[in-house]
Amino acid sequence: MASVPSFWSPRIAALEPYVPGEQPRIPGLVKLNTNENPFAPSPRAITAIERAAAQGLERYPDPESVALREAIGAHDGLRPEQVFVGNGSDEVLAHAFFAFFQQAEPLLIPDVTYSFYRVYAQLYGIDCELVPVDAGLRIDVEAMASRAARGCAGIVIANPNAPTGIGLPLAAIEGLLASCPDRVVLVDEAYVDFGGESAVPLIDRHPNLLVVHTLSKSRSLAGLRVGFACGQASLVDALQRVKNSFNSYPLDRLASAGAIASIEDQAWFDKTRLDIIDIREGLTLQLEDLGFEVLPSQANFLFVHHPAHDAATLAAALRERAVLVRHFRQPRIAQYLRISIGTRDQCSALVDALVRILG
């Protein structure tokens, strides 16, 4: 590790610096590397943001984000006190790690999952135990539950998982909830709207369930930074205390206005997410024709492997042709590429580039 100034806290010195290489500032790229939605957000969201700006920004926003929490609650069948909002689900996750997982025992996460979970654990000094996914890269629910039953700080999973896209049925989530009833099971549903099964209906029966959502993916609002968590009021209360200790204004006026209008535009939401699912299914068949093995995806991306071609080399060759996909260096998944679902034209550009590369 490079030397750092002596006045840094030791835990910060151990943090890997974030390299924002996945967001290059080069125009004209076919950008299929960070799971953004290729379609525009609801036009009603844009109008609402413009209207909020016209009403003025000289006053602080509502510190409780009541209107947004009511809108989310109305959409998901919850009371506002069961909803917590933050600046993107990354912030919501960070607060949840702080609020629930600083315990004596280790936190359980799958060894193949969203990389930021380990970053938050490291930031807050939370010991993590990685539970290996199975041979098909599926989360090993039985192994997690039996490990949890011996004592843990909690469980964090993404459902559908990232970067595999594989979803778990609700029965599996219920098994995890039962395995550690006095610890939080956090289910990150960033991609659930593309075909997964949401655990939100389980909240009333499970005081230890926290479900985290984002407006970055299925609502096309990655640029607005809005995420939220749903759970029983006692969990939301803990998150609210953490949040207020960092910053008592969770969301700005523009983000709240845009998020509310987006959540209320069910028709736009359904149209764009069903389009993405349709494009995903078509792209799966085209990639299989090119010899790729494609994991079954319930997300807005595909996780693919070519038995005859090195994944890093393929990613570099695509980049030379201005197509960005994601390659991970983690040994277990180093022979896979993650491809975000783009527009039909973007996916055609990807397939054309692959045809030329694969010869």
- By the rule CB under 6 A, 158 interacts with ligand PMP: yes
Count Cα atoms within 13 angstroms, Cβ side, for 148. Answer: 27
| Per-residue x/- track, 9-48, ligand PMP (CB under 6 A) | --------------------------x-------------
Nearer to ligand PMP, 167 or 309 (CB): 167
Total binding residues for ligand PMP by CB under 6 A? 13
Count of beta carbons in the 10 Å neighbourhood of residue 304: 24
- By the rule CB under 6 A, 88 interacts with ligand PMP: yes
Q: Which of 82, 89, 298, 340 binds ligand PMP (CB under 6 A)?
A: 89
CB of 205 within 8 A of CB of 51?
A: no
Q: Which of 114, 194, 268, 269 binds ligand PMP (CB under 6 A)?
A: 114
Nearer to ligand PMP, 52 or 156 (CB): 156
Q: Which helix (H) or strand (E) holds 271?
A: helix 266-289
Q: Which of 214, 240, 272, 335 binds ligand PMP (CB under 6 A)?
A: 214
Nearer to ligand PMP, 152 or 224 (CB): 224
Nearer to ligand PMP, 203 or 211 (CB): 211
Q: Which of 99, 141, 190, 224 binds ligand PMP (CB under 6 A)?
A: 190
Nearer to ligand PMP, 89 or 262 (CB): 89
Nearer to ligand PMP, 126 or 192 (CB): 192
Nearer to ligand PMP, 164 or 309 (CB): 164
- By the rule CB under 6 A, 162 interacts with ligand PMP: yes
Token reading at 136: 């098909």
| CA angle (237 as vertex; 231, 240 as ends), nearest 5 | 105
* Binding range to ligand PMP, per CB under 6 A, among 85-93, 174-182, 193-201, 333-341: 85-93
CB of 229 to ligand PMP, least distance (A): 11
Between the CA atoms of 237, 243, 247 and 249, what dihedral angle is there, to the nearest 10 degrees? -50
- By the rule CB under 6 A, 167 interacts with ligand PMP: no
260 closest CA partner among 90, 66, 100, 124: 66
Q: How far apart are CA 116 and CA 212, in angstroms?
A: 14
Q: How far apart are CA 310 and CA 321, in angstroms?
A: 17
CB of 97 to ligand PMP, least distance (A): 12
The secondary structure of 115-154 as a DSSP string is: THHHHHHHHTT--EEEEPP-TTS---HHHHHHHHTT--SE
Backbone angles phi, psi at 85, to 5 degrees: -120, 150
CB of 280 within 8 A of CB of 341?
A: yes
Q: Which of 41, 165, 196, 227 binds ligand PMP (CB under 6 A)?
A: 227
Q: What DSSP state is assigned to residue 52?
A: H
Footprint on this chain of ligand PMP (rule: CB under 6 A): 35, 88-90, 114, 158, 162, 188, 190, 214, 216, 222, 227
